Chain A
Amino acid sequence: MKYAFYPGCVARGGAPELYDSALAVMERLGIEHVELTKAACTGAGVLQEKNLKMGDILNVRTFAMAEQMGLPIMVLCSTCQGVMSQANHRVKRDPEYLAEINKHLAAEGLEYKGTTSIKHLLWALIEDIGLDKLKETFTRELTGMNMAPFYGCYMVRPTEALEFKANPTRETSIEDLIESVGGTVTDFAGKTACCGFPILFINQANSMKMVANHTGTAKDLGADAMVTPCPLCHLNLDGYQPKARKQVRGDKADLPVIHVPQLIGLAMGMSEKVLGLQKHIVSTKEIVRMAEAAPAKV
């Protein structure tokens, strides 16, 4: 498989370990990619608050670039996935609006016909590669590791734009991945809730309550780690966990929040360093130890 690769701002900024671990895993799987270095930010739904059309134009520009290459887009971020899916959904059902947007893109010689699909690495692995094929690359069985899923809003809503009906596995994608590496799912109600990141700079008290509730609840239920396909959720749930847990629950940050490719990399036997696990704010030492002690896959 080959993809037009759109890593997103955060994987190239505040969460570099996501970019590195994704590349390591993709290489091991033989997934080819061409990085869309000319593409702009999706707007993350924030730019859209000021100017929805501007956001749609930026995203359609990216879709047109991938379309020219004849490749589907692969993203690493729930928010990129959701914002792009919503923009694609809007223009594909409204040809007049798309024509209007294409007018703006003409100066760059771009025109979008509406054929690009957008897939998060997590979805691509399940839908295009298949979990059975993925499992063949694993060298460890991560039994005894309890992991709580945390999706990120944009990866689960709105279900129409995300095409959940046509792709029912998307609803349980993280759980299915956790089970495929041999881990146990720690299910909890907050897994599809907001992590608090979008209001971090607007209403920090509320944001901290969300971080403390989600990480604290998952820990109380026995989770050793939380797994997320969203680097924005990661920034908040990992980076602000010490402050949130102290402020809201009066306890300590004790739940590592790992990226999807880091979990896969651990099952593939990759080292802490290759996966950038030492770059987390909440210590990942214990889960690295658990992975290293895990039985070899037969």
Chain B
Amino acid sequence: MITRWLVRRLARTVDDRLRIAPVVRRALVKVFPDHWSFMLGELALYSFVVLVLTGVFLTLFFEPSTAETTYTGAYEALDGSRTSAAYASTVRLSFDVRAGLLMRQTHHWSALLFVAAIVLHLLRIFFTGAFRKPREINWLIGVTMLALALFNGFTGYSIPDDLLSGTGLRILYSVTQSVPLVGEWLVFLAFGGEFPAAETVPRMFVAHVLLVPAVLTALIAAHLGILVRQKHSQFPGPGRTENNVVGSRFWPGYTARTLALFAWVFAVTFALGGLVQINPVWIYGPFDPAQASSPAQPDWYVAWGDGALRLLPAADFRVFGHLVPSPFLPGAVLGGVAFAGLYLWPFLERWRGGDGLSHQLLDPPRRHPARLGFGVAVLAFFVVLLVAAADDIIAKVLRVPVLDVLSILRVLALVLPVPAGVVGYLLARALLRGGGRGIGDVTRRDVRSVRRLATVGSRGDVEEESSTEGGPSTEQPRSTGAATGPAAGDGGPRIELWRERDGTWRWRYRADEVTLTGNQGYLSRPEAERAADTAYGNLPMLEVEPPGGRAAVVAGAVERAGRAAGRVGGSLALLVLAYRRRRRDRRR
């Protein structure tokens, strides 16, 4: 039990100086919801950690300069060739720095994972309405982090100054240049001159390794700080109300789980980084404005932009004799509109019929058919754009002319969102009516009944719904509790209070289907009562005997180890005592 002694000793030392025990205790017992979708944000967080760690390693070897140099090293195909320092150092750190390629590829893979996790997290937040009051600030921060992640991904794969990324950079330059009125100055200031300017790579490097990561770190801190302050939202369920959070306590269960996820992220990204080649710049060759690689696809998270550039037909137009070039609409406007929409969504939704109240219970996606339908439609649109970025590959694989692929995708981009959105909307309504748990439970009757699109109020025949839906079930404990009264010993929802042997007070919520224990011990009975009251309103409260036995099983293994250690320690102590007594005896 040396660890226990050490931990207690350390905790005491820290507490003597910071008086932090109450804060730490509250942090340790913080309740995290158990639903898997709450891990998506953590997935993003942990891939960010991988990014920072591998990125620091790469920074030590990368040379952010387009000055011409000669590569000499282990990669024979380029040995002795004149390239930019950025490109040469990238090849060098891939082939001549031991473990460099592993770090570089892991960095790239975790960047892909990072953005993917952010997007999935955003979709979860969107479809469940978690962005509603009071979480608008965290939504805004999250959308900002998505934009920064896209930007940093782009700068990251552009700085090696290879042919593929140079082409991407050229496209970004053209898009920036296409902005009306200010585009020319904007692009010259940002890139440091006419493409390709020597200033560009060093600037992107500073943004990539310093500015954006610093801002991201600050925003992550704010994101998590607000999360802790506001506590988690949760899906509706038995015993869950607008005034509580049901799940696992941070210590110890959730700690182990989240650390496991942390390690999984490392395991998967390092496995990919070691085994699956990504962005082989030595094959693409150094950048040259007179050359392009074909086919050329960007990383997936900017591919929607590239797809849009491919899909939109020639759309140059003139305003007062000035030219607005075609990249402006798909390149600048689409991205601008997308992010403006994301930023504004919580406020748009509140304006169009939201209730403006604080929500701690999430909507199951079906609860808001219009939101679901709209989200699915937008998603379908962007998926088509993403696919369009690979139109040349599709054409090659299917052996059809690329322009035909382009035409089909154009039609799809315009048409597909409509049926996708309608299906999403109708499915949500059908689920809402049928009350099934998932899409598999939708019956034909549900779908048919949706077509009548009757008023939402006519749900009399669907009694089952109330058990799976948020609103009714959360109301249930309060109403039934009040009806049966404090005398209701069994069945009705109630709060049970008890005094532990050490004098602390604890409580738990009990109903037919669920027993939920309050997350912490309280020093006095009123404190415990207040917490239970906050969580469940006026439920009958009764004092009970402390429920025992639960910890016995959990502690069994620990206990055995402890007893063993105790025996060893005890015999050691006896030995020491005996030894000292003998010495004392001898001195006498």
Q: Say if A and B assemble together.
A: no
